[in-house]
Amino acid sequence: MAKMLSHSQVWGALDRLATRYDLSASGLAKKAGLDPTSFNKSKRITAEGRPRWPSTESVAKVLDSTGASIDEFVSLLNARSGKAPVRPMPLIGLTEAGDGRYTDDSGFPVGSGWDEIPFPSVDDEHAYALEVSGNAMEPLYRDGDILVISPAAPLRKGDRVMIKTKDGEILAKELKRKTAKVVELRSLNPAHRDRSMHMSDVEWIARIVWASQ
């Protein structure tokens, strides 16, 4: 039988998300455009003693205002209390990612010339950040957005991924299907066509685990 989420798990995840972004519970609510008292502990139980749950709309507004992904929120449902450790993360521009000086043939960061940004640790010590330039990925990713790429993250249908072809082309797409021979990709921009390519033409493919939207 599938285990149901508990009241304390959901509120705990919101508390940990607030801590991760240096906010109090009321600060998180205010940032999301909600009443500052919405997430106060006194509001989590009704006057009749019944648990009051945060609405789906409230959680969506929190994720949108902080830039946190759904995956990040889910990871916090079972996490222990406390602030996530922050480490310097390598950062380059998206156009530079096609340069062989910056990533190896598996998509792991190598070489010099990287800038750094502080970022809460993800479960991949080789994760790095790319800064979007131009409008090719609109409306999902815009010029100046930061994408965190995890070369070690497992890939699943529906994941947003970054791909480098052996011709040096860098693509951000949604993964439709991947086999040992072929990868099928859905475009994030409706003005661009979906792509299908042989894996022999792909240098690396890595999952986008976070975006500063």
What tens digit of pLDDT does each residue of 157-187 get? 888 999 999 988 888 899 999 999 999 999 9
Domain end marker among 53, 77, 101:
77
Averaged confidence pLDDT in the chain: 83
Per-residue pLDDT at 139? 79
What is the C-alpha separation between 9 and 123, in angstroms, rounded? 20
Do residues 90 and 195 both lie within one domain?
yes
Do residues 62 and 97 both lie within one domain?
no
Domain presence at residue 2: no
What tens digit of pLDDT does each residue of 110-144 get? 777 788 777 665 667 788 888 888 877 777 888 88
Which residue carries 């222990």 as its tokens?
A: 80
Reported confidence tier of residue 86, pLDDT bands at 50, 70, 90:
low
Do residues 42 and 103 both lie within one domain?
no
Residue type, 49: G
Domain presence at residue 159: yes
Do residues 107 and 203 both lie within one domain?
yes
Count the domains in the chain: 2
Domain that holds residue 153: 86-211
Per-residue pLDDT at 81? 47
Per-residue pLDDT at 70? 82
Reported confidence tier of residue 107, pLDDT bands at 50, 70, 90:
confident
Domain end marker among 77, 97, 126:
77
Helix axes 7-20, 70-77, angle to 10 degrees: 120
CATH classification of the domain holding 185: 2.10.109.10
Domain end marker among 57, 77, 97:
77
Do residues 140 and 182 both lie within one domain?
yes
First to last CA, the chain: 36
Q: Does 1 have pLDDT greater than 50?
A: no
Six-digit token pair at 187? 């475009």
Domain presence at residue 156: yes
Q: Does 85 have pLDDT greater than 70?
A: no
Do residues 58 and 93 both lie within one domain?
no
Domain presence at residue 1: no
Is residue 141 a contact partner of residue 211, using CB atoms and an 8 Å limit? Answer: yes
Phi, then psi, of 17 in degrees rounded to 5: -65, -40
Mean pLDDT, residues 15-41: 87
Which residue carries 């519970």 as its tokens?
A: 25
Percent of all residues in the chain with a pLDDT value above 90, rounded to a whole number: 26
Do residues 60 and 140 both lie within one domain?
no
Q: Does 152 have pLDDT greater than 80?
A: yes
Do residues 123 and 69 both lie within one domain?
no
